[in-house]
């Protein structure tokens, strides 16, 4: 048999569905590649490419996309074009396009650009607040709740982030009570979803379950908790399963796994959307995502960025399978 015939008869891999007990029918994937993914990459991607990336991601079936950040350009040069990216996405019907806003000035810029959904950020640790939010932890919380209230007043949807919710590169293990309290405060301030961020990827499943349980214990609805997981230590998918068990119904991920860990040079950061989709579809959980189309999107953006490889295991495996390697 020739090599060509072997390739033709080979199984085209796809998740083998075995419905997990107590699994939900559907889970929402919150795609972060255009903002969190590109922000953590060294390359500055042209505005038109960012816009095309959002359109391609939506065409692959993702309905919740964090598209940009209205941070001061001096903080994050990759996001200088937020006011050009967001208005160019107005034709994405049925897609929740979310813009990150770090302060009231950012909210004003987002409103001027036509934002309908924004995200606010707090830190569970003092060190990260000072390093990344340019404020103390309490001041950052005050800013976030003020921005959330103002955004709600303008009729916008608001998502909250608690960064460094599990471990911190300077302070080590993070107090779960602090995380639960911050999540409850953001929820009460009008955030429809609060994403707990494992920013350095150190959490393990028991830690995830306990932290979600604590947030729920402080009054946050379980289905209002999201998880923003990083795969730095290879724990992200195990942590997704733990989150599902705890009632979480929204997970953040990045197409292709774009976005390196900013605190571990060269290490993997964001959980890859393809890896998450493979897991969920295998568990019989609907996501609306066309996996092959998404792999195509990831391959395209990697080429635009001059990257030869992708952190996503599933994207890498499917690309290899499609080329017979």
Active-site option among 183, 261, 283, 301: 261
Looking at 209-217, 243-251, 270-278, 298-306, which segment touches Mg ion (CB under 5 A)? 270-278
Nearest CB to Mg ion, comparing residues 196 and 285: 196
Q: In the bound complex, what is the minimum distance in angstroms from residue 227's beta carbon to Mg ion?
A: 11
54 included as an active-site residue: no
Placement of tokens 């929820």 in the chain:
187
CB of 180 closer than 8 Å to CB of 145: no
Question: CA 173 from chain center: how many Å?
Answer: 22
List all residues 6 or more positions away from 84 whose beta carbon is below 8 Å from its beta carbon.
47
**Binding to Mg ion by residue 270, rule CB under 5 A?**
yes
CA dist 17 and 110 (Å) reads: 41
Three-state SS for 41?
coil
Backbone angles phi, psi at 71, to 5 degrees: -85, 155
Torsion of CA 310, 313, 315, 320, to 10 degrees: 100
Placement of tokens 């395209």 in the chain:
300
Nearest CB to Mg ion, comparing residues 228 and 249: 228
CA dist 102 and 122 (Å) reads: 9
Q: In the bound complex, what is the minimum distance in angstroms from residue 16's beta carbon to Mg ion?
A: 29
Nearest CB to Mg ion, comparing residues 88 and 194: 194
Nearest CB to Mg ion, comparing residues 31 and 150: 31
Farthest-apart Cα atoms in the chain, separation:
69
Q: In the bound complex, what is the minimum distance in angstroms from residue 33's beta carbon to Mg ion?
A: 10
Strand duo 96-100 + 64-69: pairing: parallel
Backbone angles phi, psi at 245, to 5 degrees: -60, -35
Strand duo 167-168 + 172-173: pairing: antiparallel
Q: In the bound complex, what is the minimum distance in angstroms from residue 18's beta carbon to Mg ion?
A: 30
Q: In the bound complex, what is the minimum distance in angstroms from residue 99's beta carbon to Mg ion?
A: 16
Strand duo 193-198 + 157-163: pairing: parallel
Six token digits for residue 18: 């075995």
Q: In the bound complex, what is the minimum distance in angstroms from residue 120's beta carbon to Mg ion?
A: 16
Looking at 41-49, 93-101, 155-163, 269-277, which segment touches Mg ion (CB under 5 A)? 269-277
Nearest CB to Mg ion, comparing residues 165 and 191: 165
CA dist 5 and 317 (Å) reads: 20
Question: What burial letters (b/e) apply to 296-305, b meaning 16+ CB within 10 Å?
Answer: bbbbbbbeeb
Six token digits for residue 25: 């029918």
Interaction pattern, residues 27-66, with Mg ion; x per rule: CB under 5 A: ---------x------------------------------
**Binding to Mg ion by residue 268, rule CB under 5 A?**
no
Looking at 166-174, 241-249, 262-270, 275-283, which segment touches Mg ion (CB under 5 A)? 262-270
Nearest CB to Mg ion, comparing residues 111 and 272: 272
Q: In the bound complex, what is the minimum distance in angstroms from residue 72's beta carbon to Mg ion?
A: 20
Looking at 123-131, 209-217, 264-272, 273-281, which segment touches Mg ion (CB under 5 A)? 264-272
Question: CA 64 from chain center: how many Å?
Answer: 10
Instruction: Give how many residues touch Mg ion by CB under 5 A.
Output: 2
Nearest CB to Mg ion, comparing residues 36 and 81: 36
**Binding to Mg ion by residue 274, rule CB under 5 A?**
no
Q: Which residues belong to the active site?
A: 261
Chain contacts with Mg ion (rule: CB under 5 A): 36, 270
């Amino acid at each position: 048999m020739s090599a060509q015939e072997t390739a033709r008869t080979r199984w085209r891999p796809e998740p083998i569905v075995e419905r997990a007990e107590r699994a939900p029918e559907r889970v929402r994937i919150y795609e972060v590649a255009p903002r969190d993914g590109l922000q953590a990459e060294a390359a500055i991607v042209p505005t038109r490419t960012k816009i095309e990336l959002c359109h391609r991601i939506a065409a692959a079936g993702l309905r919740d996309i964090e598209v940009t950040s209205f941070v001061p350009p001096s903080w994050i040069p990759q996001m200088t074009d937020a006011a050009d990216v967001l208005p160019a996405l107005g034709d994405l019907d049925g897609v929740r396009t979310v813009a990150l806003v770090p302060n009231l000035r950012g909210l004003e810029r987002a409103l001027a650009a036509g934002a309908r959904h924004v995200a606010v950020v707090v830190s569970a640790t003092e060190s990260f607040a000072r390093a990344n939010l340019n404020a103390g932890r309490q001041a950052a919380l005050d800013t976030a709740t003020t921005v959330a209230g103002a955004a709600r007043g303008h009729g916008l949807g608001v998502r909250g982030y608690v960064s460094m919710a599990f471990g911190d590169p300077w302070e080590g293990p993070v107090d779960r009570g602090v995380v639960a309290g911050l999540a409850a405060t953001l929820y009460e301030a009008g955030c429809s979803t609060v994403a707990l961020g494992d920013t350095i990827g150190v959490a393990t499943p028991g830690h995830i379950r306990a932290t979600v349980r604590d947030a729920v214990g402080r009054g946050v609805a379980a289905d209002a908790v999201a998880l923003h997981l990083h795969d730095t230590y290879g724990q992200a998918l195990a942590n997704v399963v733990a989150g599902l068990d705890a009632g979480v119904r929204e997970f953040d991920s990045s197409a292709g796994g774009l976005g390196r860990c900013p605190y571990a040079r060269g290490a993997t950061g964001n959980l890859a959307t393809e890896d998450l989709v493979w897991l969920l579809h295998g568990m019989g959980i609907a996501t609306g995502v066309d996996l092959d189309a998404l792999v195509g999107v990831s391959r395209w953006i990697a080429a635009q960025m001059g990257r030869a490889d992708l952190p996503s295991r599933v994207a890498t495996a499917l690309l290899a399978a499609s080329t017979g390697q």
